[in-house]
Amino acid sequence: MLDEKILEFARLLRKGGIGVSFTQIADALRSVALVGLAWDDFYTALRCTLIKEQADRPLFDKLFRLFFLTQSGQNAHDNLHLEEETAGQMQGTPELVQSADGKGMGRGGGASPYLLLVKAVREGNYSMLRQLGEMAVKGLGELERGSLPKLDDLVVQAKVAIGWYQAVNRLERIRIQEGIGAVVYAKWMACLDFLDGYIKELLEDIFVKKYGKDALEEIAAAANIREKEFYRLDNLEIQEIRKRITRLARKLASKYTRRYRRAKYGKIDLRRTVRQALITAGTPMRLKYRRKVVSKPEIVLLCDVSGSVALFSEFMLQLVYTIQNRFSAVRSFLFVDLIDEVTDYFKNKDIKEAIEEAFSKARYSYSGFSDYGKVFSIFARRYLSGIPRSCTLIILGDARNNYRSDEKEFLKEIQEHVRKILWFNPQPREQWNKEDSIMRVYSPFCYQVFECGNLRQMEDVIEAIL
């Protein structure tokens, strides 16, 4: 029975994007048999055997809590947050929070929740923060199964219910008026982060208790960083994606080496084989093979860096320049409603430094709103004559033109000049050609158009240019 539970948990981790091998599962089973079923030992045994990277630990902890604690009806939060509380923080909290709920004493009928939130943050009172979080979730009422995909929206609604944004403004004013130092302010922000995460955990617990395994699997799938849309990533996930892109680049580089090595055993070079056979009295004892010429494409990147598309363009620049030895040459341009070449920023510089410098120094925006038609016309007139006809031109963007002129004749001119055009669109395909998206206008001039909104899709499309 326990073996089956651990196997099921391993499948859940895989659904969440954590790679778990059969060897790791076998190690986990042996470890649990040795350490026993005390919660701390059981958790540590699984954590040490089923995950290999520190970055996977937050997701492991979340799924462990939901799978082993929430599903079994235990109070998971008693196990997870005790370390953040102190005895002093517990004093006087329940009465205050009941007061905020409108059941308290005094002429106002109760303290305002946002004032309690300010007080809890200033005092670092995690007990009060937890009770405010429970009050916020309670205020959402009955949760429907269909609202699970919009979990982030529910978190926002819950925060609004307790005056989150009023409290943040109040704290900001206090910081300025009282000259609060950076250390104290960082503790305030940690309290707010804790409450934000706690509200989300409470909502997940409710969905798992109410809707069971289906809800749990949906939460795991939504947490899969490879499947998560780039524009939904938080700061920690962005850092993790950057690391994974670096690993992907190393993998692609080694793949190239293996291909080249196998190429030595391709077609037979008859002339060299016959010449070699003269040494052995005309008997071809050793075959000679033709050397395979590995073609290296020349790449030109046109990167839309407006709004949420900017992050996708940054990831793609990082990937392409990390494996630039796979190409004969790489040129890159950033655009919004102007376009500027940033190739020189990537010469002899660290990738991170080069991207920061390119984004901060290049002149690619005048109004801040994308204008693909204007960008294509500038590119065709200013840069196209210097672009070799053998190159592959890649456009990274969502084709949202803000209802401006499409100037498609300039994209046609570019298409006739280069070898082929590939378009990587980070928006979901179902959002194309809606509102100001004019993907249908530009796609006839492209050799291929790809949806590329998450890491898995990026891994797929990079094969198209290698």
- Whether residues 356 and 426 fall in one domain: yes
- DSSP result, 85-142: --GGGGTTHHHHHHIIIII--STTSS--HHHHHHHHHHHT-HHHHHHHHHHHHHTT-S
Dihedral of alpha carbons 349, 350, 351, 352, sign: negative
Judge whether residue 77 has pLDDT over 90. no
Least Cα distance to 113 among 203, 200, 199, 202 occurs for 199
Judge whether residue 314 has pLDDT over 90. no
- Whether residues 323 and 393 fall in one domain: yes
Report if residue 177 sits inside a domain. Answer: yes
Tokens of 389: 């006809």
- What mean pLDDT comes out for the span 254-275? 66
Give the type of residue at 68: F
Domain final position from 187, 211, 235 = 211
pLDDT at site 376: 95
Sort residue 110 into left (φ over 0), alpha (ψ -120 to 50) or beta. left
Least confident residue range of 33-42, 58-67, 244-253: 244-253
**Tell me: the pLDDT tens digits for 290-304?**
776 666 778 899 999
Judge whether residue 97 has pLDDT over 70. no
- Whether residues 32 and 176 fall in one domain: no
Greater confidence (431 vs 104) lies with: 431
Report if residue 104 sits inside a domain. Answer: no
- Whether residues 323 and 423 fall in one domain: yes
- What mean pLDDT comes out for the span 447-466? 82
Greater confidence (267 vs 330) lies with: 330
**Mean pLDDT, the chain, whole residue set:** 83
C-alpha gyration radius of the chain? 29
Judge whether residue 91 has pLDDT over 60. no
Report if residue 247 sits inside a domain. Answer: no
pLDDT at site 222: 84
Report if residue 35 sits inside a domain. Answer: yes
Q: How many domains does the chain have?
A: 4
The domain of 427 spans: 298-465
Report if residue 434 sits inside a domain. Answer: yes
**Tell me: the pLDDT tens digits for 178-221?**
888 889 999 999 999 999 999 999 999 999 888 888 888 888 88
Burial grade of 191 (CB within 10 A; 0-12, 13-18, 19 or more): buried
- What mean pLDDT comes out for the span 73-90? 50
**Tell me: the pLDDT tens digits for 2-25?**
888 899 999 999 988 888 899 999
pLDDT at site 239: 82
- Whether residues 57 and 135 fall in one domain: no
pLDDT at site 415: 94
Domain final position from 250, 271, 294 = 294
Write out the H or E segment, with its range, that includes residue 390.
none
pLDDT at site 71: 67
Report if residue 229 sits inside a domain. Answer: no
- Whether residues 269 and 396 fall in one domain: no
Greater confidence (423 vs 87) lies with: 423
- Whether residues 283 and 323 fall in one domain: no
- Whether residues 182 and 49 fall in one domain: no
Contact 213, 140 (CB under 8 A): no
pLDDT at site 192: 92
Greater confidence (110 vs 373) lies with: 373
**Tell me: the pLDDT tens digits for 183-192?**
999 999 999 9
- Whether residues 201 and 339 fall in one domain: no
Report if residue 98 sits inside a domain. Answer: no
Report pTM. Answer: 0.67
Domain final position from 69, 98, 122 = 69
Q: How far apart are CA 453 and CA 427, in angstroms?
A: 6
CATH number at residue 326: 3.40.50.410
- Whether residues 122 and 190 fall in one domain: yes
- Whether residues 124 and 21 fall in one domain: no
- Whether residues 198 and 181 fall in one domain: yes
